[in-house]
Structure 1
């Protein structure tokens, strides 16, 4: 599948490996804030662009990594299809490769799955400048270790993603958003109870608004199923366009809750059944309780991480002020067995540390 832009990238990777330098892969730069600060020379992916195959009837699209995410989503929308995991955009210019490398999903993640669940196959250039292909264009192509999915969330530390095949889905025929006035504890109890029932749950978000707790619940599915769920659950049904704009703002972190946060934004990943956490401030709770955002002043990271661990989860410093270095690492400390696995993967794909592995974990050196 080599073409001029890919050959140029391969030559650049090989030359960098020979010189002992480091490359930091860059797509649209919309997630530059995420993870540890980039080090090394930028390897731009903008030239690796284009949809190489799209079969709407097969629900599969194959696209080069530098393709703008907005361009892909517009193409899918023309066919009444979508990326159901709602990858966050944050700003214009994000790319498909950046979507995979960051591994981030939007409000529907708890109901429909994550980025990696829709990744069928990937073409990768490793740290030796070799072109490797994993998976394919159907789920049954996967045998043994599913290397394609390992790349989701790898932050460019294992190689340059050149092309990816993604499973897509039809847009749901019906959607409705309900709102309920309730406390955080009551919201978690309701979500856990609803999760055990045959309801077309798609996304949820609890936050404080004007000093009172509000739970928003999005339903998606067949028309009959959505209407029946609305009748069963009650709540206040929201205007469709206004609700859609609200979910979009949550997806892209343009919601007023994010604007009102303090100097650091923390993402706590915990079991959905975890109770209200022992942490200061009212969070924004998503993913039916599984993702909880906290705005915090610098220096509170250890307390938030302790609260997440006590609930059986972990915490990530998602954003911090560009002009203010945080004393906390962006990602939580790995356990010794998991660190060994990460180290082995990095050394297998990139033995000379050509790619900026410090972007993900500064403590994992080459070999």
Structure 2
């Protein structure tokens, strides 16, 4: 039997609470900044300010441009303004037993949807469910000329401008001002259970490689404190059977949220060593780096606390086929330097979409 809101998507939309459309104000600010060649520092909730280089410019806040503009639980589609608190969107989805399957981190109560898109960061479920960009159907964007344009749509088969919408994910606001995004959402699993298996790291990585070739309902896998942590999600019978097959001890489900939000002891800010995020190919063995490591994404994402020199660390990771990002502001250039060819494409893109360099200049790299 359908919910009343399922039968009437407009009703679902009307019950999302107050919103505010500041499009005209934002467009005028951008037009004036472009005319004056004044850099803009695009702001949201501020919870991810550490992620990227420090920038100078006039603040352009999107926190008042908020509200869920459309939500159809039957079609699994939601459209939401960029300044909407991420927690508000998740609460609306939870009421319909739905979720953002990429598990974007908040890093604080003021996190916004725009910050989720701009940073492109995903949580523990990412290798199994997809990244933030995989759920973006369309965006609305203010160009450097102050024009408000729509790219993409609200259904997967509408691909007009689809790649440009995805291009905004992880661009850190350097290509335009995102005002609204349409997202694909998914139902929450019927059953969830988390396990903890005490075993050596090598054994854990070997088992993960084997399990990756089997149809097991694993949606998170991390190695921490000499133990492998797993999350099982899906149908009740599948989760129960896999739990019996793998064994281990029960693990509190809050572990995954604490990992996502970097609330585990490993991430304690009292540790003065820089925090690095290593992205590596699947089944990469442990790297010869000094420091403490927390393995996530079945080993494809690794958090490293280390005093190793940035150049040495990045060279080791690059040789393994990956890249390293510094999550501690001020200790190193946050992102891996671009090759000459890739830098050329970045420069051309920036020149085309932001010729006067007004959008978050230098946020990703000093030359952009």
Same fold (TM over 0.5): yes
Q: Does the 8 Å contact 1:279/1:303 carry over to 2?
A: no
Partner of 2:227: 214
Three-state SS of the structure 2 residue aligned to 1:146 is helix
1:197 and 2:207 are equivalent in the alignment? no
Task: Give the one of 257, 280, 284 matched to 2:294.
Answer: 284
SS in 1 for 2:215: coil
Partner of 1:267: 277
2:260 is matched with which residue?
A: 251
Task: Check conservation: 2:21, 2:65, Cα contact below 8 A.
Answer: no
Q: 1:253 to 1:340 in 2, by over 3 A?
A: same
Which residue in the other structure is 1:353 paired with? 357
Counterpart selection for 1:22 from 27, 32, 39: 39
1:305 aligns with 2:322: no
For residue 188 of structure 1, report the CA deviation from its aligned partner. 1.4
- The CA deviation at 1:38 is 2.4
Contact 1:207 1:282 in 2 (8 A): no
* Structure 2: stretches of 5+ with no match in the other structure: 1-19
C-alpha distance in 1, partners of 2:66/2:161? 30
TM-score between the two structures when normalised by the length of structure 2: 0.92
Task: Verify: 1:234 aligned to 2:238, yes or no.
Answer: no
Structure 2 counterpart SS, 1:164: strand
1:261–1:109 Cα change, 3 Å: farther
Cα offset for 1:263?
Answer: 2.8
CA distance in 2, matches of 1:38, 1:10: 21
Shift of 1:262: 3.4
For residues 203 and 357 of structure 1, what CA distance do their matches in structure 2 show? 36
The answer to which of 135-144 and 44-53 deviates more is: 135-144
Deviations 1:39-64 (A, max 9, x none): 21111001210100000011000000
Query: Structure 2 vs 1, CA of residues 245 and 217 (structure 1 numbering), >3 Å: closer, same or farther?
Result: same
Name 2:133's counterpart in structure 1.
Answer: 116
* TM-score of the aligned structures, taking structure 1 as reference length: 0.92
Q: Is the 8 A contact 1:39 1:359 kept in 2?
A: no
- In 2: Cα distance, 1:179 partner to 1:304 partner: 30
User: Deviation digits for residues 118-151 of structure 1, max 9, x if unmatched?
Assistant: 0000000011211121110011111476111111
Indicate the residue corresponding to 2:16 in structure 1: none
Alignment: residue pair count: 348
Aligned: 1:179 with 2:201 = no
Report the equivalent of 2:367. 363
**66-75 or 343-352: bigger deviation:** 343-352
Deviation track 1:296-325 (CA, whole Å, cap 9, x = no partner) reads 23x5222221221121000000124xxxx3
Once the two structures are TM-superposed, the CA of residue 256 in structure 1 deviates from its matched residue by 1.2
Cα-to-partner distance string for 1:317-362 (whole Å, 9 max, x where unaligned):
0124xxxx32x21100111222122112211211111112301111
* Matched residue, 1:296: 306
Q: CA RMSD in A?
A: 1.4
Q: Which of 9, 15, 22 in structure 2 is aligned with 1:5?
A: 22
2:49 pairs, out of 8, 22, 32, with 32
1:120–1:137 CA contact under 8 A, matched in 2: yes
Tell whether the 8 Å contact from 2:293 to 2:305 is kept in structure 1 after alignment.
yes
Conserved 8 A contact 2:190-2:236: yes
Aligned partners of 1:86 and 1:107 also within 8 Å: yes
2:89 to 51, 69, 72: 72
Partner SS for 2:292: coil
Q: By how many angstroms is 1:28 displaced? A: 0.3
For structure 1, the residue ranges without an aligned partner over 5 or more in a row are none
Task: Give the conservation status (yes or no) of the 8 Å contact 2:280–2:323.
Answer: yes
CA distance in structure 2 between the partners assigned to 1:249 and 1:235 by the alignment: 20
Please say if residues 262 and 296 of structure 1, whose CA atoms lie closer than 8 Å, have aligned partners that are also in contact: no
Q: Helix, strand or coil: the match of 1:329?
A: coil
